[in-house]
Amino acid sequence: MSEGVSNLIQKCENWFILLPAIIVFCLVLIPTLKYQWPLSWDIFYHIHLSELYFQNGLTYWDMLTYAPYGRPIYYAPLFHFTLLNISKIFNISLFDAARYLQPVLTSLIVLSFSLAVSRIYNSTAGFLTGIFVMFTPLFYRMVLPIPEAMAMMFLPLIGLFYYLSLENNDFKYALLAGIFWGLTLLTHMLSAGIIILVIIVFTIISKIKNRDTRVKYFILFSVIGLFIAAIWWLPLLIKYGYVFKSPPAEGYLPDRYMDVFGSIPFIFGAIGILHLLQRKEKRDILFISWLFTVLVVSLSFFIGVPVITDRILTFAVFPLMALASIGVGRVNFNRDKKPFYVLIILITILGSYSGYITLQKGQIAVSDSEIDIAQWFKNNGDKTRVAVFDNFLMDPVVVSISKQPVSAGGYAPGMVNAIDINKYLSGNFTSSEIDMDNVGYLILKNNATDPPYGEVVYQNKAYKIFQF
């Protein structure tokens, strides 16, 4: 085969692998251009942190949330600095930076999925992995401009490079895997915890199956990752220690898993698993151990571990879709390629349509009334006294838009101290407690009972603001 023909084939394969990411980018553009605000509620807290870094430089303390006490910033900063840099480079607001990041980040996640699988298996499997992602309702979570989505982009690369380090007996791949794990530790701790658990299980199984598996690559991978993470985490832990209050657990039975992942990839995934369990190559062990490790963690809810099942299952999307792509390759058409190509085209059309429907159901997480209250505080708030809300969802919205101190503020697991919000909502408080807690505002729904102190300074169709 001539060099020109080989180059042409290579270019076609590259575009083939890129196609799912291009489809996803176009689909996510629809809600991005439709709505003025980012799709996620979580993003308001992260925008607040980005603004905090812009105002104060590298800081470990957030004085505006859980006021008047404040709290250490227990959320890793890489996403926030990325968002801040995008905002400044393109001279746009942090809110627009987050909104425009939606199609870019989602397409990079899908591209990461496709590239990793194509490198480990083949370009067809990589293409199908990217397409299968759109079948699952969990696809919507990848669209949200949050640290978890950014970390999701790193995870397949960690798995790929660590696998290559064992397969090729090469330190440089373990080094690359460690670098990406370090970046994950600086982005989203849950993602970093899940992937290190997957790597440990994969290493143990590989060692049992093949005594020649070199543990030294795992050691290098771990040390590099922890060294990078220490840039942020070590000063924070030395200064403030670590606090994490587990959110309320949410779980459901495995009989819902087919709906969560999508019936088509679930079925093809089962076919892929059965095939790989018979073959048991090292690359097969990676994906099977990845999937079953995450599934076991998701089921730990039933033994009292406080996990949120659908958040955990998001980390099973990559291995399951990769296994589904292998399952498609096992469909037997008696060596006739045409039905196979038709099947791939059909999966592509159905996947794109499924992704479109999933995105059509999405909407911004805040109401016009809540934005209106935040704008009032931006223009009229004193920026010193604490605002107490009867709707905890409003705190990060208000603090991110107005910089008004709030009594909560998002990311509750990182809370250290907080005022007793319930006494203000029930009206059972005194003027001395107002002064002690430095409370200046109470925001209630219009149908709520007026508090014993304060006057209404603003009201819209949903809320009223009392000022003390």
The Cα 91–Cα 137 span in angstroms is 34
Instruction: Provide, rounded to the nearest whole percent, the portion of the chain with pLDDT above 90.
Output: 75
Return mean pLDDT, the chain. 91
User: In the predicted model, is pLDDT for residue 354 greater than 50?
Assistant: yes
Reported as a pLDDT band with limits 50, 70 and 90, residue 306 is confident
What does the pLDDT look like over 131-158, one tens digit per residue?
A: 999 999 999 999 999 999 999 999 999 9
Q: Are strands 386-389 and 439-445 parallel, antiparallel or unpaired?
A: parallel
CB contact at 8 A, 321 and 265: yes
pLDDT of 12 reads 62
User: In the predicted model, is pLDDT for residue 335 greater than 80?
Assistant: no
Pair of tokens at residue 357: 């429907």
pLDDT of 10 reads 55
Nearest of 124, 208, 195, 100 to residue 157 by alpha carbon: 195
Q: Which of the pair, 252 or 448, is modelled with greater confidence? A: 448
User: In the predicted model, is pLDDT for residue 258 greater than 80?
Assistant: yes
For the ranges 241-250, 293-302, 346-355, 406-415, the lowest mean pLDDT is seen at: 241-250
Question: How many CA atoms lie less than 13 Å away from 409 in the CB half-sphere?
Answer: 33
CB contact at 8 A, 266 and 320: yes
Q: Which amino acid makes up residue 198?
A: V
pLDDT of 11 reads 58
Please, what is the Cα angle at 423 between 414 and 457, to 5 degrees?
A: 95
Instruction: Provide, rounded to the nearest whole percent, the portion of the chain with pLDDT above 70.
Output: 97
pLDDT of 308 reads 82
pLDDT of 273 reads 93
The Cα 442–Cα 467 span in angstroms is 7
How much is the average pLDDT of 382-402?
Answer: 94
Separation of first and last alpha carbons in the chain: 82
User: In the predicted model, is pLDDT for residue 30 greater than 80?
Assistant: yes
User: In the predicted model, is pLDDT for residue 5 greater than 50?
Assistant: no
Residue 285 host element (H or E): helix 282-299
What does the pLDDT look like over 154-194, one tens digit per residue?
A: 999 999 999 999 999 999 999 999 999 999 999 999 999 99
Pair of tokens at residue 326: 């292998």
CB contact at 8 A, 35 and 43: no
For the ranges 247-251, 328-332, 422-426, the lowest mean pLDDT is seen at: 247-251
Reported as a pLDDT band with limits 50, 70 and 90, residue 6 is very low
How much is the average pLDDT of 265-294?
Answer: 93
pLDDT of 76 reads 94
Hey, how many other C-beta atoms are within 10 angstroms of the C-beta on 135? 25
User: In the predicted model, is pLDDT for residue 2 greater than 50?
Assistant: no
How much is the average pLDDT of 106-132?
Answer: 96
pLDDT of 349 reads 95
pLDDT of 13 reads 67
User: In the predicted model, is pLDDT for residue 414 greater than 80?
Assistant: no
User: In the predicted model, is pLDDT for residue 275 greater than 70?
Assistant: yes
